Amino acid sequence: MGILSGDPKEQPLHYGEIHGMWSYLAVLQGNYAKYQTFSNHTGDKDLTNVLEDMMQGIKQERESIEKMLKVNGIALPPSPPERSNATLEEIPVGARFNDPEISAQISADNSIGLVACSQVIGQAVREDIAMLFGQFHMNKAQMGARLLRLNKEKGWLIPPPMHTHIPEPV
């Protein structure tokens, strides 16, 4: 048998795996609180549905990572408190996040999550961790496509300058 062969759950975590999971969990917890706040600010039903789906995904990812860390005796990062619910009308107009801002932020968060998942997959020695973050990555890729479609349909996408002039060959 080779080094670190057998059941991955019986293998120790290396420090990179621990740091990757712990850091990912800390960001997830912050994003969950942020998305709860964003839910109070959005007036668009489609964006509200996306936020709800993203928060549900965070809950599932958080459960999996917390279980993995606890089983291995790793303390969990601190979690911000749950945000209270508010109606859009309770928030003064100048203090509100608007829907395009919310969509841009969650799209950026999703992209950052893709990179973070790829990093954990790349440094993982345990197959169960690589597979877990592979699943997270796939879910984020699907959400990214959904967010892109939403941003295009709503007119919220701000593309970078487009290169439309192609020089003639000499």
| CA dist., res. 130 & res. 133, Å (int) | 5
Give me the helix-helix angle, 127-154 and 15-41, nearest 10°. Answer: 30
Question: What is the residue-averaged pLDDT of the chain?
Answer: 93
Q: How does residue 107 score in pLDDT terms, banded at 50, 70 and 90?
A: very high
Q: How does residue 7 score in pLDDT terms, banded at 50, 70 and 90?
A: low
C-alpha of 32 from chain center? 9
pLDDT score of 1 more than 80: no
Q: Per-residue pLDDT tens for 38-80?
A: 999 999 999 999 999 999 999 999 999 999 999 999 999 999 9
Q: What is the dihedral of CA 15, 20, 26, 32, to 10 degrees?
A: -160
| Domain residue limits, the chain | 14-87+96-154
For 115-128, what is the mean pLDDT?
96
pLDDT at 165: 85
Report helix, strand or coil for 101.
helix
DSSP alpha helix (H) spans, the chain: 15-41, 45-71, 99-123, 127-154
User: Measuring CA to CA, how many Å separate 44 from each of 16, 92, 116, 154?
Assistant: 40, 17, 29, 10
Report helix, strand or coil for 81.
coil
Q: Amino acid identity, residue 28? A: L
Q: Amino acid identity, residue 47? A: L
CATH superfamily of 14-87+96-154: Ferritin, core subunit, four-helix bundle (1.20.1260.10)
Q: How does residue 11 score in pLDDT terms, banded at 50, 70 and 90?
A: confident
